[in-house]
Amino acid sequence: MEKLKVDGCTIHILSVIKGLKSETEKVRKAFEETKPDVVAISLSREEVEGLKNIPDDYEPELSRYDEIYAEGLGRFGEVAAPPPCYVATLELAQHEGIPLIPVDMDEQSYTDLYCAVVPGTALFRHSTRIWLLKRRTFSDDSPEKFVLAWDKAVNNMEGFRLIERKRAQAMAKGIKKACAGSKDLLAVIEFERATDVLDILREEA
């Protein structure tokens, strides 16, 4: 866990791997160690609302990208959807009565950005690369290395890289905003974007 001070608030950045069930223990320990008075999470407000209202008979609808990701990540432990790290964050925040702040881009902003920076040709290329990813062997020896390799492979086109940069900027902005009136903030951020978010916060601190 990384931490930094912003306007008198200590920000604790916890990077989590989406999908791994074992990440729930990491989240639990972070709550115990930091005792936050506010929690930020790398989800949109729509995603948080969806997480709060998961039906008992919920069955995830996975895209082909999700299926291939889950298969690769499964080498390092049991995988589940929705991401257990986020479910644990929501449940612990609710149990402790701690405000949970979504800091990722909202769906409309994401859609507008996607349409603006991803041309049809890039979208076609992106969709047809599924078979290449399916046949690719990710030989990484840790879930962290696998996640970074996967992120690089999926977002290697400029439009997609720009989207991820904008997401990191939005998360950093949301975290700074959530710091207002807070002494200790725990930010649960997807592993792929955590370093970028931390770098932006440090640059602007």
Instruction: Dump the DSSP string for the chain.
Output: -EEEEETTEEEEEEEE-TTBTTHHHHHHHHHHHH--SEEEESS-HHHHHHHHT--TT------HHHHHHHHHHGGGS-B-SS-HHHHHHHHHHHHHT--EEE-SPPHHHHHHHHHHH--HHHHHHHHHTHHHHHH-----SSHHHHHHHHHHHHT-SHHHHHHHHHHHHHHHHHHHHHTTT-SEEEEEEEHHHHHHHHHHHHHH-
pLDDT value at residue 156: 81
Encode pLDDT of 41-59 as tens digits: 999 999 999 999 988 777 8
> Which of 193, 182, 183 is closest to 104 using CA atoms?
193
Encode pLDDT of 34-43 as tens digits: 999 999 999 9
For residue 129, what are its two tokens? Answer: 């690369």
What is the band of 20 on the pLDDT scale with cuts at 50, 70, 90?
A: very high
pTM for this predicted structure: 0.92
What is the band of 118 on the pLDDT scale with cuts at 50, 70, 90?
A: confident
Percent above pLDDT 70 for the chain: 90
Q: What is the mean pLDDT of residues 170-198?
A: 96
Q: What is the mean pLDDT of residues 111-138?
A: 68
pLDDT value at residue 123: 54
What mean pLDDT, rounded, does the chain reach?
90
